[in-house]
Chains A and B, each alone.
Chain A
């Protein structure tokens, strides 16, 4: 016992220096290229700066200006819409797909898995450009194929749905894989027990899978939410004309870039920090929602028959 402690102490003092040496590249890079710019941007958000010349102090004016800017609120709304709409469509579809692919009646599972996952591997900008070819009007592929004359990308109420469709298409693989791994990790005995009690496929899946997968599910939702708050590429490449994306379809990130391009570094910085704030708020909301659902889920779980079959969870 004493030897072990001695050895540990010896290793401890030697590895202290090694520890710092090992983390040094990471931490130094982090300080120079993550911490420093973050802090500097925060400082910039309290200044007026054109990118050249002198910076003048501005207090909270940049934040004030943004919060009074209708475009800010429109783009905030758009960002939330894109997130919620695509998630609400995507998650059930991916879940059903995972059920289907996993079920006994389907052959060629690995081929289907590869196909469904493929969009995850395809370059985001290239796919968005393909969607542009698909939804251009008058001479886009969809209009051409179906004989329609819909102004997909110029009628902004419709354009938002095209963006959602693109996000759903691109996100399917991610969620599918998350659900599939959750489904395949379930002990078959638990499932059979439920089957004996007459629970249908979907009921079984929801009542067994969801609670067991809660953590992975939560993780996926949070990652998806964080990425969705930072949305920029798809709407911009899809619908900007002459480099300008109309605010009624633009996400919040656009404000950061647009302000930078018109030499308002202070406002660009303030917009960026408000975006970060939004990300935190949304993440907390997601965690909170899971807490709530978790609590009510416990009450609902009992009648499925787990107790009768002797399975507890």
Chain B
């Protein structure tokens, strides 16, 4: 336990020491929050109603989907995991600790958003804090697990960027963060059900704010929870200690299985 705590504390500090992580964990989401708050609400006042969950999900996307994978690839390439293996650091710690510390960073930024949004932008606070916290936790686990999985299967930082952007950009555009799902054309709305952000936003609105949405929120919550479990299990299974001559337990294409809950959701809910 002591080792886990030391490791956690060290990883957490790295998140504030490393310029890239500092940018993706704090500066980018908070900068975007200020921009969205001051500009988007001016253009579309309805955006203010969902500013808090939208910005929390954007924070998760930035820190977990864009920020989390690269250090995993870099550490593997630099032989850090080899050194960890020799010294008895388990693979489960190597992949869970960065995910957990990133969740803590995201929680801090989310706290800042929740506290300041009502004051600065007159955004409503959640009506059900327990439901809101539950959706936050499950969403954070889903995004963090996906981020770790991308890092584990990517052969280089270039590849992580490709995978990350494949999730980040559609999530920003059609994931319900800036444009409500109901306003999207049917085909796009259906396609957006492949994205974790769509389900998280849906669950935030239903369980946090009591707003009934077009998609069954309980199903959305079940989808992101099973997505989180599946992605983490796959990351652990496909984890490799070394970038050279390493033997994975399976092909990296297995990672696509993490999409199964979302695919099932798209078929059943779309």
A and B held together in a complex:
no
Residue positions of B touching A, CB distance < 8 A? none
Residue positions of A touching B, CB distance < 8 A? none
